[in-house]
Each structure stands twice: as C-alpha cells, then as structure tokens.
C-alpha cells in the first residue's frame, strides 16, 4: 500500500472524539470474553467459538462484536445465547473489516473537506486552510482554493471518522433481546488466517536401523486478532470445501535442529473420517505469531535404509546405447507405523527432517521429505537425498526388433549392463528397479529378479566395499 505522503515530516491528526461511539450501538470486546475454543483444520481454515458475558439492552438494538477475525467468513457466523436461548434472536448482521488507517481515512474523504495545518518552521506559527480531497490513489491530491496541491508539508485534520470505518474487525448484529439480566452468548464462525502443520524431527542411530522421532505442531495466526487462553483442537484430514475464490496462503519456512524428545501433550481420537487432536491445556495464539506445540514422541523405531536406482521404460523400445555414467543412487529410509516397530499412531501430514550424529557426537542434517496423512499400521518412506559414494554406469548392449508392422504387434529384445560402484569401506546393497513396458519377460540374467508388480522387475545387488558389481540381463517385450 502506498502512503499518501511521507510520515516523517508530516503528522496525521484525527479529531476522533466520540467518533467511534455510534448512537445506540452496544459494544463487546475481549474484556467480556469468558473463553474461546479454536478447531483448526488443514489448508487455512478454523472454527472459532467465542464465549462472552454481555449485558444486552432489552428490545431491538445493534451489537458490535469486536475483536473477531479479520478473515472471518461472515456467512458462517452464528450468535446464540447459552444462558437464555429463547430470549435472543438475530435478524441482520454486517461484517466491518475496513480498518482505520491514514490511507483508508483519505479514501473515505474523497470529495469531502479536510483541514490542512501548516507550521512555520521559523516562528512555529500554525496556519489552517480548508481543502477538498480529490484523489487518494497512490498519493493525495487536494484542491485548496483555486489551486491543486499534492505532497503537502503539513498535516491533515479530519472532522470525524466515517461510520463504516473501524479500528478493528467488528461483526455488527441487529438483534432482539427479551431477557433482563446479563447473558452468556457464543459467537461461532469459520475463518481463514489460522493454520497448522506437522513437523517431525527424526534422528538415526549409527547403524541406520533405528530412529528417535518427535512430532511438533506448528501453528500460524495471521487472522488479525489474538486468541488468549484458547482451548485448541486440530483436525487432521482432507475436509472438502467449496472454493469460491482463490486465497493466498501464508507460508513460513522453519527448520528445527534436533532436540530432546518432547512430552506429547495432545490426545488424539477419531472424528468422522478424520483424526482430532486436543491440546491438554489452554494456549494463547497471538496475532502474527507462529507457535510450536509438542505432538508426539517415540524412540527406538525400527527403520530400514535403502539405496535405490530406478530405470525407465523408454529404452526397451529403441536403440539407445549408453544410458548414463556415474548415475545417482537415491537414499531412502522407511519405517512401519506400527506398535511392534515402537510407533503405531496416526501421523498428520507434514515434513520429516532427519539427523544423524557424526563421529564427534554432533547431530548433522541428512535430508528431509514430506509425508501425507499416515494412519496406524502403514509404512512411511522418506527420500533423503542421493548417495555420494555409490554410483552406477548403465548401457544397452543389444537391441533387436523381432517383429511388428502394425499398431499393436511389436516385439523387441534388448540387453543391458549395469555396473555398480561402491567407494565405501563397507559393503552395500543396491536395489535396481526397472519398469518394463507391455507384455515382458526376462530371458536371461546374471542374478535372479523378482516381479515387484505387473510392470516392474527388481534386483537386489550386493556391492563389496571399495569394489563393484555388474548386473547383466536380456528382456523381451511385446506391444
């Protein structure tokens, strides 16, 4: 947003006495709040339940419910009385989210009169002139008498604050009240600006066969208000929503160093087809704040490391010769989300960052990967990077088109050589995964394969320390 003039030499003065108090309007702010509950979903959506005790005037009146979310979906707002449900009815509501700023004041005063106050720097004497605001677009344009001026070296004084300009987001409700005493009321609404994600920190042991994992919930509040001592619940799962217009998501990138496993203080339960996590204490979500809360902790989780080289299906249909030199071998770590593997709990989607201690006992970052919502008893597989000391040379040693001149009757035969090299001081096993197109079979091979799926052949090749191993095979494919 462009400011209408430099604020350093100029001062905007607002004569706002009595301007924010509007007639018979009643007001409720955070001082009336008895409690607030927030349920946050994935993808920038939250349900807020704001409980307040308010002394409402009998009969018809307007209630300004202040300190609500600036990103409220007003069509979802619902006010109800908890103490006397039959006594309160709402027949109109307006969400005022146009907030009081110097720029907004200028925009509201286009076509109206303001006072321009100038100060003589030598004498300190002030002079005042009346001006009409002609424009507030990327600056201010004023008509003063018979001249047009911009960027004035002075301050503007406004007579009042426009009635539809608020100092904070406010839901104004026209209601009818038949109760005489103060009431406990609850305003519930859906809002954007509140989001959460799961972040995990895992530390591998020296043998890469066990890991300690801790989970954190990262909460972000950009909704425009603070929720003090809120009862917090989180829903993990993909809730269907009707998208009316695209919304820009706030993204905050954080990286956590490995820390002692936190005490998990969020209870979880099934809710419809999702999972609900409840924080066992209240917490405050301040405006424009990112907060982390411990979610889970597990130690000694059984893990497996895998070195994987994946092929492609295009070279089974043509002559290609050399396929690659010093090809990268992917490094994966996987573990079972089972109680028998020392885990076994629903894992919300998020990023898993993996560390491992070096020879000096210092934890070093070795890679990260994202996971989707993972229920109990499912497998978690993480790609951490590419191996440095393990490489592969791959070439096609033979190719023949045996038959085929129509659209679906081609038969190809091709042969391959894969040389795996290991510069480590210990032996490794590399998994070779070859996607085979069409109707295929391996006619000869230096080591037996297994059929991973209808279109995949898999070899597990042992490579000695500081040595190499060679796999050769011939395949026949039909289309």
CA angle 128, 130, 132 (to 5 degrees): 145
Give the mean pLDDT per block of 10 residues along the chain (479 residues): 37 34 73 95 92 93 92 94 93 82 85 90 88 89 90 82 78 91 95 94 95 94 94 85 52 42 62 81 93 92 96 93 95 96 91 95 95 93 96 97 80 96 96 95 97 96 97 95
pLDDT score recorded for residue 472: 98
Stated pTM of the model: 0.71
- Buried/exposed 331-370: b ≥16 CB within 10 Å, e otherwise: bbbebbbbeebbbebbbbebbbbbbbeeeeeeeeebbbbe
pLDDT at position 77: 95
Q: How many CA atoms lie within 13 A of 186 on its CB side?
A: 13
Tokens 């998990």 sit on residue: 264
Which pLDDT does position 6 carry in this prediction? 38
Q: Cα separation of 182 and 54, whole Å?
A: 5
What pLDDT score was predicted for residue 153?
67
β-strand 183-191 against 322-336: which pairing, if any? unpaired
Task: Report how far apart, in Å, the C-alpha atoms of 170 and of each of 53, 66, 71, 332 are.
Answer: 17, 4, 11, 51
Distance (Å, whole) CA 93 – CA 396: 72
* Residue 201 dihedral angles phi and psi, to the nearest 5°: -120, 120
Q: Which pLDDT value is given to residue 53?
A: 96
Determine the pLDDT at residue 86. 92
């Amino acid at each position: 947003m462009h400011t209408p003039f430099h604020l350093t030499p100029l001062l905007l003065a607002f004569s706002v006495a009595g301007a924010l108090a509007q007639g018979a309007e009643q007001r409720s702010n955070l001082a009336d709040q008895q409690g607030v509950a927030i349920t946050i979903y994935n993808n920038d959506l939250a349900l807020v339940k704001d409980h307040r005790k308010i002394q409402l005037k009998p009969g018809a009146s307007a209630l300004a419910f202040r300190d609500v979310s600036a990103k409220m979906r007003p069509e979802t707002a619902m006010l109800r009385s908890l103490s006397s449900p039959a006594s309160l009815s709402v027949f109109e509501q307006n969400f005022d989210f146009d907030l009081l700023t110097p720029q907004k004041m200028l925009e509201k005063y286009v076509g109206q009169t303001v006072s321009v106050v100038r100060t003589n720097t030598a004498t300190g004497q002030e002079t005042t002139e009346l001006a009409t605001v002609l424009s507030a677009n990327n600056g201010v344009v004023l008509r003063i008498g018979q001249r047009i001026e911009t960027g004035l070296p002075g301050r503007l004084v406004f007579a009042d604050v426009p009635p539809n300009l608020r100092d904070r987001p406010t839901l104004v409700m026209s209601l009818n009240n038949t109760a005489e005493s103060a009431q406990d009321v609850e305003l519930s609404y859906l809002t954007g600006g509140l989001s959460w994600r799961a972040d995990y920190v895992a530390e591998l042991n020296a043998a890469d066969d066990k890991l300690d994992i801790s989970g954190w919930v990262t909460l972000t509040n950009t909704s425009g208000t603070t929720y003090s001592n809120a009862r917090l619940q989180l829903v993990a799962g993909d809730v269907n929503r009707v998208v009316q217009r695209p919304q820009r998501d706030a993204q905050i990138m954080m990286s956590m160093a490995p820390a002692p496993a936190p005490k998990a203080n969020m209870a979880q339960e099934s809710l419809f087809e999702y999972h609900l996590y409840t924080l066992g204490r209240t917490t405050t979500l301040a405006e424009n704040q990112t907060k982390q809360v411990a979610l889970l902790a597990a130690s000694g989780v059984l893990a497996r490391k895998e070195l994987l080289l994946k092929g492609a299906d295009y070279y089974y249909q043509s002559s290609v010769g050399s396929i690659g030199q010093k090809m990268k071998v992917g490094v994966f770590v996987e573990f079972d989300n089972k109680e028998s593997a020392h885990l076994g709990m629903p894992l919300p989607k998020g990023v898993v960052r993996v560390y491992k201690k070096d020879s000096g006992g210092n934890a070093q970052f070795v890679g990260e990967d994202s996971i989707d919502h993972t229920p109990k008893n499912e497998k978690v597989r993480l790609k951490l990077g590419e191996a440095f000391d393990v490489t592969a040379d791959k070439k096609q040693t033979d190719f023949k088109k045996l038959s085929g001149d129509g659209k679906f009757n081609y038969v190809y035969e091709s042969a391959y050589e894969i040389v795996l090299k290991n510069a480590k001081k210990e032996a490794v096993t590399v998994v070779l995964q070859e996607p085979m197109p069409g109707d295929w079979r391996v006619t000869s091979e230096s080591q037996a394969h297994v059929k991973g799926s209808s279109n995949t052949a898999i070899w597990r090749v042992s490579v000695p320390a500081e040595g190499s191993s060679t796999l050769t095979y011939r395949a026949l494919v039909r289309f």
